[in-house]
Amino acid sequence: MYKLYYSPGACSAATQIVLRELAQEVNIIDVHQLDDFKTINPVGAVPTLVDGDNTFVEGAAIMLHLLNKHKSPLFPENENSRQQAIENIMFANATMHPAYGRLFFLTQHISDEKVQQEILNTAAESINQLWQVIENKLADKSFLGGDSPSAADIMLTVYSRWGRYFSVDIIIGEKTSKMLNAVQAMPSYIKTVQAEQTASVK
């Protein structure tokens, strides 16, 4: 069984959803309930995955480890399609994730409300440009991977929910919204939300 260290609502949810899509059992541990998490991951970041004797960190690296280990439609076998899937995962992890991360950083480090809002609006414009990139990619398909959800679709869906925490206008296109709604309706997504809520109550 895998052991996944997570924070409620964080990007670690995407790893948990993928583990369920891969039909893998996972024990989830809320890092907020631990006093010594940095002994497990010195950076203190989630997700952190324990697979047997090995501990894996960094979201994209964990995602690729799991997808390479377990055969799944989430990660195509065709070389060209697999390369595109990797690019989509990296876009989600290294481009979209940091764009949303700036919103959290700004609210934590800028106290002047007017200045904060101006900079948040600018950051939101950058996020909207990235969602337009996704909308363009979905012009002729339902998901980034084609007819079924990919790991990148799952990652992006988790990130998309973060916009509600800020007083900014996040604009998501029609086809992208349809994709996000489809992912949120997946049993693995619903079970992950429920599992995090239940674990947090304990």
For position 200, what pLDDT does the model report? Answer: 58
For position 123, what pLDDT does the model report? Answer: 98
Q: Which residues of the chain have pLDDT under 50?
A: 202
Predicted structure pTM score: 0.96
The DSSP code for 139 is T
Tokens 């790893």 sit on residue: 15
Domain 79-184 is in which class? mainly alpha
For position 76, what pLDDT does the model report? Answer: 94
Handedness of CA 90, 24, 48, 28 (dihedral sign): positive
Question: For residue 16, what are the contacts with CB-CB under 8 A and spacing of at least 6?
Answer: 4, 6, 26, 28, 47, 192, 195, 196
CATH H superfamily, domain 2-72+187-201:
Glutaredoxin (3.40.30.10)
For position 137, what pLDDT does the model report? Answer: 97
CA angle centred on 47, ends 49 and 124, rounded to 5°: 160
Q: Where are the domains of the chain?
A: 2-72+187-201, 79-184
For position 198, what pLDDT does the model report? Answer: 85
Element of type H or E holding 30: strand 26-30
